């Protein structure tokens, strides 16, 4: 398994794989219509038979909820999550 770096931006360091977030704590910063939310979860990288390689971010606060990022179409940034008490931070902006 690829061992990710603990700081900096993984995209800028040449890592294009969400697999580096497997079994790591992940803060997901959501911006929805100008409102910000921070969710803290755990990453599971796996192959989904319908979607291909995916990173599922699961949340202890709600076991039925998860965010799924598709390896083949992910274009976002992965940053250090130290400030949020996590290994990594992902920012997502949802537009209506």
Give the predicted TM-score (pTM) of the model.
Answer: 0.77
- Note the pLDDT tens digit of each residue in 5-46: 333 444 433 344 899 999 999 999 998 888 999 999 999 999
**Is the Cα torsion angle 81, 7, 78, 21 positive or negative in sign?**
negative
Name residues whose C-beta falls within 8 Å of residue 36's C-beta, 6 or more positions apart in sequence: 29, 30
- Note the pLDDT tens digit of each residue in 81-90: 999 999 999 9
Q: What is the Cα–Cα distance from 32 to 24, expressed in whole angstroms?
A: 25
47 confidence band (pLDDT: 50, 70, 90) = very high
Backbone φ and ψ for 83, nearest 5 degrees, come out as -65, -25
């Amino acid at each position: 398994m690829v061992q990710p770096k603990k700081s900096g931006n993984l995209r800028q360091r040449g890592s294009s794989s969400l697999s580096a977030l497997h079994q790591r704590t992940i803060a997901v910063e959501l911006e929805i219509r100008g409102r910000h939310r921070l969710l803290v979860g755990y990453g599971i990288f796996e192959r989904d038979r319908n979607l291909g390689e995916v990173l599922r971010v699961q949340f202890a606060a709600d076991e039925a909820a998860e965010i799924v990022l598709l390896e083949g179409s992910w274009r976002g940034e992965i940053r250090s999550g130290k400030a949020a008490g996590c290994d990594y931070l992902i920012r997502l902006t949802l537009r209506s």
